[in-house]
Structure 1
Amino acid sequence: MNSPSTPNKIINNQYVLNKRLSAGSYGIVFEAEDLQKKYLVAVKIEKKEKNSTLDREIHILTRLLGTQGVPKLIWSGIDNNSNVLVQQLLTKDIGAYLKEYRKFSLKTVLIITDYLLQIIRRIHNKSVVHRDLKPENIMYHQKQIYIVDFGISKLYRDNNLKHVPFKEGRSFVGTTRYASIAAHKGQELGRKDDLESLIYIDILMLKGTLPWQNMLSQNNKERQKQVGEKKIKMTTTEICVDLPIEFTKALDYIRSLQYQSDPDYDYLIQLFRKLAQSRKIEYDDVYDWTQPSNQSTPNNLLQDTIIKQIASLQQFERSPKVMQNKCQSLKVPSTQDVLQDRKKSLQNSSQLMLQQNELNKSIQNTYVISQIANDYDSKQDYFSQDDVDDTLFYRYNQLKSQVLQIHHLQNIKNQNQTNKIQIS
């Protein structure tokens, strides 16, 4: 297959490629149709020039066959000298929902966490550690949660259940933002490290940010070092600030575990279930993005609040008392004064429109760049590039705020002009 990016190509005389879903340093993932069974599948094609991680993933998925919460391996083999993996097609990754919502409700996070803790326990029971948990590797499909991408996963014990010995001086593995402290220290990763990454993901989903985001250094190595130092320096209370105490307790417990410790998954599951019970949260598989369309998203709620504040201010400006005070301080303007005021108003309005147009263009450009950054592979040589898009989103939100302020000023100016005309 000389051009794996070309749709309509048939793999193994059975799977016809429909469209590309994602791409990264490992290769390309397509949506495809099984011509024999007439249903859609996901096809991952590895780049020829890359060292094989797909072989590792195929090995791990074979071991995890039948594990609930792990996509089903359907077929694997070689097509035109390229490694190919065909697996169950899932709907959408949590990272995509985060781009849309920026953060989730406590209910959504607790439901996702409950699923993940159970899936992680099943994976660990099969002697596998994932080593790269992040929102992009967590999928939503038919009201349930899945963990995907086992390309850098590893067996932590052999067939006799003997644990792999602890080692130091290892290369960094995973994604910087969610990696455990042990990953930053170059230590062998175990079960506790998957759980530590899970708590960092929880914090991101609840707050929309992590304390060590936007630490953009000249290179990945330097940023890994800086992020690692910050994770080590910060207390669990500081990391989980403004969150329910259960997240601090969970992180404290996980960090207390040793490399070969057998985690108490039930303790963590019950810890969060009791939190849900205390907040009267039901695990009903209703997520923020599955709410009825008439219910606002977090971003819409914020925008609605801003609009209400502006409307309230405008109402205050039009209140009888304010109008009376204005009338007492105003003299009857001459025709020339009115003409001059209108001329200034038109000039100011024109300037505001120009500034608004420039900001809108800047926002659009920033958004486009942000989307490109989001699409960039977050595991380039196992080093994360995903903090880049956070800086762009921060700039994007700044520009949005400026546009809202300009709209607010424009509305006040128009209202004042209307009031002046009415008085005259």
Structure 2
Amino acid sequence: MRISYGKEHLGSGRHGQVYAATSTMAARSEDVGRVFALKKTAVTNHVRHPMLLHEACALVLLRGHPSVPRVVAWGRSQYFEYLVMDRLGSTLDQTLKTIEPPRLTLRNAIVLICQMLDVIEHVHEKGIVHCDIKPRNFVFGAKEHAGRLHLIDFGLSRPWIDPTTRKPFPEDANFGFRGTLHYASRHVHLNHTPSRRDDMESLAYIVVKLLTGTLPWANTKETEDLLPILFAYSGKTLCEGYDDVFARFVDDVLSLQYDETPKYQHWRQAFRAVVPGLPADAAYDPEDDSEPHVGAPPTTSNPDVDRPILRRCDDHPKPAEREDSDSDPLLERVLGGASRSKHGGQHDFAPNWGSSWACGSAIRAGDVFGDEFAIVNLKEEEEEGGGVEFIDVPPDYSRGSVVYPGLAPPEEMKNDQSSTRCI
């Protein structure tokens, strides 16, 4: 595939940039001239398992669900990694900000919750946990799919099933934090290995935000301050004033064990029962103005309703102590920890000289989905659906050069040398 980009910048993330990109050459004739979303991150010669290859692999493995965006192409040069996927609409977070509380209808809230439950179940059934469930990572589709949420950003995702034993990976109390502060589960804040329960707890917090317009801990900045609040709240105190199905859902999710299977279908049916006659495939309708509405804390006739005392307490677990290490954190970020190549530049990927971006992020060896390069490179005739196209020449950047004259050689695609089988 060949693409051009740069005229329209769609956003920034923790690890790179997103642009609107036009395909000028593609294996599928219907993709020529189409506008896609292009994710771009910096990369170095030391990163053995790069993040966008990992994300492309996850999207290939999750194909077939209407809430999983189509991944189109992937490529890597000595400076950058690229991922091409369907362009979508606004994020759930952006949409909620445009609705004056309490203008989100209960009907639409139930539709969104059921769509999120459905795609999370699909992800889990494929042996994957997302690890960063939050409103910003749910995006509405475009055109005829504008009423459906799509789950994006699988850069932090990992397998929860050991491919050798076909059983859940053992829980590690020193796994480390992964996710977004205000939506991460209590166990993730305690550095436990993420599992299905943690994606579901993050979803429960999204449900609370849909209902009330905010989270009680929205202004908390540190894990140590956040944990007492998370442990102080229950479904009742978070969802007071709304149908009790919401409180029951939150409490059920908070009680899940590490390897317990969530009751996805049960809760979809329970939520749909709140809006009688709502079909299973209902779409979000921005024009819906039915009653009741949600999106702001409800008024209550009981001024003495129980609320948790939000203070530091000693009756909940504390974050695991980090062992002292002689490693250099910056070097670990550049080399990717366990994901680093033993022989540095043998892949022929050069440092990104002159760039102000962070060095390329690497996926830990224990988080990969097998031979990720082979999965992404799978031919359609080998298995239904196949892999993705490769970007075979450096994308045409409309804003000028992407390299640094006098400091670095011209950008070249290195796709044939990106196999994760290399050591």
Q: 1:121 deviation in Å?
A: 0.8
Which of 1, 7, 15 is the equivalent residue of 1:26?
15
SS at the partner of 1:276? coil
Q: 1:66 deviation in Å?
A: 2.5
Residues 308-332 of structure 1, C-alpha deviations (whole Å, 9 max, x = no match): xxxxxxxxxxxxxxxxxxxxxxxxx
Match of 1:252 in 2: 251
Give unpaired runs (5+ residues) of structure 2: 26-31, 296-360, 363-423
Q: Structure 1 vs Structure 2: percent identity of aligned residues?
A: 27
Higher mean C-alpha displacement, 192-201 vs 154-163: 154-163
The 8 Å contact of residues 67 and 123 in structure 1, kept in 2 or not, is answered as no
The correspondence of residues 97-246 of structure 1 with structure 2, limited to 5 A, is 97-101=95-99, 103=101, 104-141=104-141, 142=145, 143-160=147-164, 161-216=166-221, 223-246=222-245
SS at the partner of 1:133? coil
Question: Is 1:289 aligned with 2:286?
Answer: yes
Aligned residue identity for 2:20:
E
Q: 1:56 deviation in Å?
A: 2.2
Residues of 1 paired with 2:205 and 2:140: CA distance? 19
With normalisation by structure 1, the TM-score equals 0.61
Q: Name the larger-Rg structure.
A: 1
Give unpaired runs (5+ residues) of structure 1: 1-11, 217-222, 300-379, 382-424
Residues of 1 paired with 2:294 and 2:57: CA distance? 41
Which of 28, 40, 46 is the equivalent residue of 2:41?
46
Residues of 2 paired with 1:102 and 1:53: CA distance? 37
The 8 Å contact of residues 28 and 45 in structure 1, kept in 2 or not, is answered as yes
The 8 Å contact of residues 40 and 81 in structure 2, kept in 1 or not, is answered as yes
Q: 1:43 deviation in Å?
A: 0.5
Q: 1:118 to 1:73 in 2, by over 3 A?
A: same
Name which structure has the greater RCO, CA cutoff 8 Å, separation 6+.
2
Q: 1:190 to 1:14 in 2, by over 3 A?
A: same
SS at the partner of 1:66? coil
Residues of 1 paired with 2:15 and 2:216: CA distance? 29
The 8 Å contact of residues 16 and 35 in structure 1, kept in 2 or not, is answered as no
Q: 1:210 deviation in Å?
A: 0.8
The 8 Å contact of residues 102 and 208 in structure 1, kept in 2 or not, is answered as no
SS at the partner of 2:273? helix
Q: 1:289 deviation in Å?
A: 2.8
Q: 1:284 deviation in Å?
A: 7.2
Q: 1:186 to 1:80 in 2, by over 3 A?
A: closer
Q: 1:106 deviation in Å?
A: 1.4
Q: 1:284 to 1:187 in 2, by over 3 A?
A: closer
Corresponding pairs, count: 279
With normalisation by structure 2, the TM-score equals 0.61
Residues of 2 paired with 1:53 and 1:224: CA distance? 25
Q: 1:13 to 1:287 in 2, by over 3 A?
A: closer
Residues of 2 paired with 1:175 and 1:14: CA distance? 32
**Alignment root-mean-square deviation, CA:** 2.7
SS at the partner of 1:99? helix
Q: 1:16 deviation in Å?
A: 3.8
The 8 Å contact of residues 148 and 283 in structure 2, kept in 1 or not, is answered as no
The 8 Å contact of residues 17 and 33 in structure 1, kept in 2 or not, is answered as no
Q: 1:17 deviation in Å?
A: 4.0
Residues of 2 paired with 1:59 and 1:286: CA distance? 28
Question: Is 1:93 aligned with 2:91?
Answer: yes
Residues 143-176 of structure 1, C-alpha deviations (whole Å, 9 max, x = no match): 2111000010110013352211111022211111
The 8 Å contact of residues 105 and 288 in structure 1, kept in 2 or not, is answered as no
Q: 1:102 deviation in Å?
A: 5.1
Match of 2:369 in 1: none
Aligned residue identity for 2:154:
F
Match of 1:326 in 2: none
Residues of 1 paired with 2:113 and 2:259: CA distance? 23
The correspondence of residues 272-421 of structure 1 with structure 2, limited to 5 A, is 272-277=271-276, 285=282, 287=284, 289-291=286-288
Which of 74, 81, 84 is the equivalent residue of 1:83?
81
SS at the partner of 1:35? strand
